[in-house]
Structure 1
Amino acid sequence: MTDTKTKIAAGLERAFAARGFAEPSVEDLRDAAGVSLRTLYKYTPSRADMVVAALEHRHGRYLAHLFEDLPETQQAVLDALFERVGDWMAAEAAHGCLFHGAVAAEPGSEGLRELLTRHKAEVARRAAAATGLDGREIELLVILEGLTQTWSLHRDAAVTSAKRLGHGLRMNGAA
């Protein structure tokens, strides 16, 4: 991704995360991206393209946050993943999952639904591989998604509960 394109995507991500998908005007999005309207439209020719650019940027940042520099043991990886999701929620996702928010804002968009599906599948696949729980992607995703949904209500207790569920999944072995 070019520097300008990355700058635009980062600004759009911040704007949509802070204000949702319906509220920001194109001028607000231009300001958040820190570029001219002409440059914004050069890289993202439509509002739909702006949403996709923001979500693609978010996807990369989220994967990096969760999976870079993981601990050595698979058990420690499992705990680290849940802790990192809690950290992400505290710092980045006070309003919930941006991908689910995008689909909720435009429920008829197959492209957004496919992006959501791809994002969640990659998180689950990488989590299963990193924890040695290959074949248990859906179970891991249920725990991770439950954590993201309950974090705003229960914070650290939600992380602790996710760890407990993850340990139970590990004890039951890979499928």
Structure 2
Amino acid sequence: MTTKIAVGLERAFAARGFSEPSVEDLREAASVSLRTLYKYAPSRDAMVHMALEHRHRRYINHVFGDPKYQAAQPIETTLDRIANWMKTEASHGCLFHAAVASAPDDQELRRLLERHKSEVCSLAVAISDETVIETDLMIIIEGLTQAWPLCKDAALASAKRLARLAASSRI
């Protein structure tokens, strides 16, 4: 039941932002009764957090699959997968950044954002077949996701060039 609710909440927030959908809109998106929605997510904040936790798991699975079973690969492959996510799931930009922007004083949202970004970069470094500095890679990945809504494939091409430069500077 929680997955069903999380899927609906994520979809609603991704489509309409964090301030627009009413609780009734969110209940409808989750396809459950109000009582059931509040049982699993007892506040609007809990609904946002549930949606973002679900989004995080989907993103990690989309970009990395199960890294424990993945051979080393070029960082360009990871960047291609991130661009594919942006094309299919996040054409307006990062949902985590949007959540923090909608509630800048919410420290729990900031922790979710930081954890998400840190895990993405750690996994990207772990599966890379080249030596890259995690902070360099975070800047490259963040540049790609933030520039995507405006630049699309040009953002991907630039991210790949920067990744090659970052890897070659470590030699």
Question: Shared topology, TM-score over 0.5?
Answer: yes
Matches within 5 A, 1:11-160: 11-68=8-65, 72-75=71-74, 78-132=75-129, 136-160=133-157
Aligned partners of 2:150 and 2:22: how far apart in 1?
A: 31
Using the size of structure 1 for normalisation, the TM-score is 0.91
Taking the aligned partners of 2:8 and 2:153, their CA distance within structure 1 comes to 29
Paired with 2:103 and 2:152, the residues of 1 have a C-alpha distance of 29
Task: Structure 2: state its 5+ residue gaps.
Answer: none
Query: Retained in 1: the 8 A contact 2:72–2:127?
Result: no
**CA drift at 1:173:** 2.4
User: Is the Cα contact below 8 Å between 1:120 and 1:141 reproduced in 2?
Assistant: yes
- Partners of 2:2 and 2:13 in 1: how far apart? 16
- Runs of 4 or more consecutive aligned structure 1 residues displaced over 4 Å after TM superposition: 69-73, 132-135
> Cα RMSD (Å) of the superposition?
1.7
Which AA in structure 2 matches 1:113? R
Q: Secondary structure at the match of 2:105?
A: coil
Displacement of 1:74 in angstroms is 2.9
CA contact (8 A) 1:133 1:173 kept: no
Aligned residues: 169
The 10-residue stretch of structure 1 (90-99 or 18-27) with the greater mean CA deviation from structure 2: 90-99
Q: Which amino acid aligns with 2:73?
A: Q
Unpaired runs of at least 5, structure 1? none
